[in-house]
């Protein structure tokens, strides 16, 4: 795909908070795609095993889809998101006996009052602009206790299952054009990094690295290097 001038598409809404507030009620439809079901089951098993008995900070929790998965085995989950609309849906769910609490947080400016045994960031990496990844990973690592772990998961690009890319900007960030059921159209940053690119980004700040590459999704598990 040729690089286009991003300004040609600026008539669309490019604000992620607005987009997810509008998308909240249809957010989980993406998890109903038939071809993705086996990968989703694999991810759920891996997450439950990894987070068993741990106190977790979840960033970009959305409507609580993955919160519900990890709450099955975790000791506690503090689930955060910047969108009030998705949090309202997440709060309405029944998580059984699990200790689940919620907070509306802008992770760019989040400074935790305590650190956690583990952090989960589901489908947030792809929305981070490439030029902001270093800061994002620094923020992630500072939320985790020494010896704790970080788990990040996101999409692989699979033609026919993912929306096509609309444009790539001057920094190399890719964008998709997304239309919601209310008729609104949004230009959403959605990057699809390779394993080699991900490994380069965590070089020197991660140890005990495990990368799981499925067909539709990838998962990264590591322990932050303490400085």
**What is the model's pTM?**
0.91
CA–CA gap between residue 215 and residue 38 (Å, rounded):
10
- Residue with token string 């992630």: 140
- pLDDT greater at residue 182 or residue 191: 191
What is d(CA 202, CA 189) in angstroms, rounded to the nearest whole number?
21
* Domain 38-159+193-224 classification at class level: alpha beta
- The predicted structure's pLDDT at residue 138: 95
Q: What is the pLDDT of residue 8?
A: 41
- For the segment 118-127, the average pLDDT, to the nearest whole number, is 97
pLDDT surpassing 70 at residue 90: yes
Task: Return the pLDDT at 3.
Answer: 43
Higher pLDDT, 29 or 12: 29
Q: Is the pLDDT of residue 95 over 50?
A: yes
Q: Residue 9 pLDDT > 60, yes or no?
A: no
Instruction: Decide: 79 and 64 in contact? Cβ < 8 Å.
Output: yes
Mean pLDDT calculated for residue range 191-219: 98
Burial class of 29 by CB neighbour count within 10 A (0 to 12, 13 to 18, 19+): exposed
| 161 closest CA partner among 28, 30, 29, 65 | 30
Question: With 80 as the cut, is the pLDDT of residue 5 above it?
Answer: no
Can you state the angle between helices 84-91 and 16-23, rounded to 10 degrees?
Answer: 40
**What gap in Å lies between CA 27 and CA 20, rounded to an integer?**
8
Round to whole Å and give the CA distance between 44 and 67: 11
State the average pLDDT over residues 122-143: 95
């Amino acid at each position: 795909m040729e690089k286009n001038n991003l300004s040609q598409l600026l008539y669309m809404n490019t604000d992620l908070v607005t987009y997810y507030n509008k998308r909240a009620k249809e957010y989980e439809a993406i998890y109903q795609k038939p071809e993705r079901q086996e990968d989703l089951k694999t991810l759920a098993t891996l997450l439950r095993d990894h987070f068993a008995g741990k106190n977790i900070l979840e960033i970009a929790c959305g409507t609580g889809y993955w919160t519900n998965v990890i709450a099955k085995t975790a000791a506690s989950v503090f689930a955060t998101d910047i969108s009030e609309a998705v949090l309202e849906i997440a709060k309405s769910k029944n998580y059984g006996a699990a200790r689940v609490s919620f907070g509306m947080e802008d992770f760019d400016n989040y400074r935790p009052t305590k650190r956690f045994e583990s952090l989960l960031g589901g489908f947030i990496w792809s929305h981070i602009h490439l030029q902001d990844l270093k800061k994002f990973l620094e923020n992630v690592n500072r939320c985790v206790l020494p010896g704790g772990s970080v788990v990040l998961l996101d999409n692989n690009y699979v033609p026919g299952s993912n929306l096509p890319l609309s444009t790539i900007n001057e920094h190399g960030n890719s964008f998709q054009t997304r239309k919601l059921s209310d008729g609104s159209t949004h230009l959403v940053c959605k990057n699809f990094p390779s394993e080699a690119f991900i490994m380069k980004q965590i070089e020197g700040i991660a140890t005990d690295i495990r990368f799981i590459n499925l067909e539709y999704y990838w998962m990264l598990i590591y322990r932050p290097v303490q400085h």
